[in-house]
């Protein structure tokens, strides 16, 4: 009898597209299995309040995790950046398919690059990390907090009363919206969120049958990058309002990991980098956090 696996996804256009990408890979890897989709509305999708008021990290995953634990679904597909640092008891990160472009992208009226924006330009973002790094590069900018799906934010940044917005390049790529990108923000000066551009497939711990299915689409270097970044997040601490960032890159079995913690106004930015064997991803994440804490990062952490 064909094994039937139910995947859970948020209902946004991007979330469904990303889950479809995962299911396509699973169907190719395991043609004898049957895969179905169950759409679940997350708290973060229901509310229009700023993420800081409704809980920040976790508001896009809690309902999916509850459905997993209740055995209503067999696996959940998340944007890895939405996962809290601590994995929910009873669940595991089973696989990370190959990661997309982790950079942030600038979307502006007239497709102007950051340096060409007018003095006092109004930039929209709901991310303290993006806001702090924007202000570090352009202290004159006025940051406006915005919410909404990708299409809504693009519209606000190109046709609304803002001069621009910053979005994850991966989301724009997956939605076929490359043409709105004015410039990419390179990680050397603008680090992405932990797990940005990676998809995380979560299953129940101990569900070996589903784990064996999901592992068929795991991309080990991408998993190692995400594991290192999440280890950094856990070791550093700080809440969803702390401007922090981290990016791992694996090449030839080596992992390079860069991290950043900043003040909300971007006036103080601490950076560090470590490198080592990719198999030591967890330890490298802790070491990077330790380097930043030694520089005084604890003073910048917001609960």
Report, in angstroms and rounded to the nearest whole number, the Rg of the chain calculated over CA atoms: 19
Retrieve residue 104's tokens.
Answer: 């942030």
Backbone φ, ψ for residue 295 (5° rounding):
-80, -5
Both tokens of residue 175?
């939605």
C-alpha 20, offset from chain centre:
18
Contacts of 31 (CB under 8 A, 6+ apart): none
> Using an 8 Å Cβ cutoff, are 129 and 244 in contact?
yes
Asked whether 128 and 264 are in contact (CB, 8 A), the reply is yes
Cβ contact 163:109 at 8 Å: yes
**Is there a contact between 243 and 125 (Cβ–Cβ < 8 Å)?**
no
Distance of CA 6 to the CA centre of its chain: 23
Q: How far apart are CA 282 and CA 232, in angstroms?
A: 8
Give the C-alpha separation, 299 to 293, whole Å. 9
Rounded to whole angstroms, the Cα distance separating 35 from 144 reads 41
Write down how long the chain is: 303
Whole-number Å distance between alpha carbons of 168 and 265? 21
Cβ(265)–Cβ(135) under 8 Å?
yes
The DSSP output letter for 161 is S
Residue 82 falls in the annotated catalytic set = yes
Angstrom CA distances, 9 to 20, 73, 173, stand at: 9, 10, 19
**Catalytic, out of 32, 74, 82, 119:** 82
Q: Catalytic amino acids?
A: 82
């Amino acid at each position: 009898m064909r094994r039937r696996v139910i995947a859970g996804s948020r209902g946004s256009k991007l979330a469904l597209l990303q889950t479809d990408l995962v299911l396509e890979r699973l169907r190719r890897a395991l043609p004898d299995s049957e895969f179905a989709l169950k759409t679940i509305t997350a708290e973060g999708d229901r509310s229009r309040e700023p993420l800081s008021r409704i809980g920040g990290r976790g508001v896009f995953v809690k309902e999916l995790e509850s459905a997993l634990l209740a055995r209503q679904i067999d696996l959940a597909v998340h944007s890895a950046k939405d996962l809290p640092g601590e994995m929910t008891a009873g669940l595991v990160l089973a696989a990370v398919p190959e990661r997309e472009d982790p950079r942030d992208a600038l979307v502006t009226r007239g497709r102007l690059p950051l340096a060409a924006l007018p003095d006092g330009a109004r930039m929209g973002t709901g991310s303290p990390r993006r806001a702090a790094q924007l202000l570090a590069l352009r202290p004159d900018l006025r940051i406006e907090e915005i919410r909404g799906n990708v299409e809504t934010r693009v519209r606000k940044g190109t046709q609304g009363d803002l001069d621009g917005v910053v979005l994850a390049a991966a989301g724009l790529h997956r939605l076929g919206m490359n043409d709105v990108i004015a410039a990419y923000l390179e990680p050397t000066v603008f680090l992405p969120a932990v797990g940005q551009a990676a998809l995380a497939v979560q299953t129940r711990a101990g569900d070996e049958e589903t784990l064996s299915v999901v592992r068929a689409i795991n991309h080990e270097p991408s998993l190692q990058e995400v594991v290192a970044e999440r280890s950094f997040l856990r070791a550093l601490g700080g809440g969803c309002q702390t401007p922090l960032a981290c990016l791992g890159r694996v090449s030839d079995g080596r992992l390079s990991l860069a991290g950043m913690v900043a003040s909300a106004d971007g006036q103080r930015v601490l950076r560090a980098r470590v490198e080592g064997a990719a198999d030591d991803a967890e330890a490298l994440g802790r070491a990077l956090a330790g380097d930043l804490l030694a520089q005084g990062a604890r003073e910048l952490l917001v609960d």
